[in-house]
Amino acid sequence: MDAYQRLSRVYDVEWGNWARQYVELVCGLLVKADVTQGRILDLGCGTGVLASELAALGHSVVGMDASPAMIEVASQRASPGACFVVQDMAQASWDHEFDLVTCTFDAFNYLLTEERVHSFFTHVAGLLTNSGMLLFDSNTEELYCRGHHGAHERSAGGHRFRQECHYDAVSKRASTVFRFEDGSVEEHIQRPWALSDLAGPIADAGLAAETAWSGFSGQRYDPGSERLICLVRKANRQRDEE
């Protein structure tokens, strides 16, 4: 079964609130950039929690996700000002530019090859206004090595399922298998990315990493961090400001 085909039914109950942690950070960035009614693109938007929250605050938001099942849920809950489409985030295209592009809650880790990472940043660069920002996060290898293992029994929205986690440090592949009561099975494959892995692809796309955190409270990112939260802008804009 395709990733999120079955999980979409319980995703909000178990993980939906996670996306809301980004609202304060995103709003702070927009205020600092003097953007009051911005155009925002949310890549790997899932069930649209973050996109709908931002739309409810007066922004115009497009949510993209490769999973039709997740987009169906997102469209059902959409706030005015938000629209949702099925699209591969590594090939993202739209008919206008954006003040902010987001890619949150491990969506970036579904990019499994350097080629797809390059494609992601190249397409995002083409969708940003000259003063636009990209905010994305990534699980690093430290997180997968330390915590991505074992099996967990879960219950959400009246559904019971088993979550099995495994990380192969040689292939750099993190596998998460979900086994549901009705016999359906989903396997999700992710890959860790650290800031050092991404410096080249970011620069090749004409972008530059401006700030990197390891958490929502402003903790500074370092090579041992389990999570990377990164703010990226166009490199030519940074040179103009200098």
**How do residues 29-49 score in pLDDT, each as one tens digit?**
999 999 999 999 999 999 999
What are the C-alpha distances in Å from 224 to residues 7, 112, 115, 143?
31, 21, 25, 9
**How do residues 90-143 score in pLDDT, each as one tens digit?**
999 999 999 999 999 999 999 999 999 999 999 999 999 999 999 999 999 999
What's the pLDDT band for 242 if we cut at 50, 70, 90? Answer: very low
Can you give the three-state secondary structure of 137-175, one letter per residue? EEECHHHHHHHCCEEEEEEECCEEEEEEEEEECCCCEEE
Structure confidence at residue 17 (pLDDT)? 78
The C-alpha angle with vertex 129 and arms to 33 and 240, in degrees rounded to 5, equals 70
Note whether 6 and 70 are within 8 A (CB): no
